[in-house]
Amino acid sequence: MTCALCGTRATSEAEALSWTTSVERGRTLHHCVTCSREHLRAIEGKFDSDWW
């Protein structure tokens, strides 16, 4: 799995379980823990990732 924002790759299934998943315009996107924490308010506000 690769982070849609920074390109970080999950090294294990256990690590990937802590990632955030979203669906935007019919695409499934995955976000690493670091990006998820950095953009938490935008994610909760359901803003498109293009905005943040």
> So what's the pLDDT on residue 18?
92
CB 28, CB 7: distance < 8 Å: no
Spatial separation of the C-alpha atoms in residues 11 and 45, rounded to whole Å: 29
pLDDT in tens, 12-36: 988 889 999 988 889 999 999 999 8
Percent of the chain with pLDDT over 90: 44
Spatial separation of the C-alpha atoms in residues 37 and 27, rounded to whole Å: 21
> So what's the pLDDT on residue 42?
79
Spatial separation of the C-alpha atoms in residues 34 and 40, rounded to whole Å: 10
Please report, for residues 24, 32, 39, 45, 51, the alpha-carbon distance to residue 16 in angstroms, rounded to integers and kept in the order given: 19, 8, 18, 23, 24
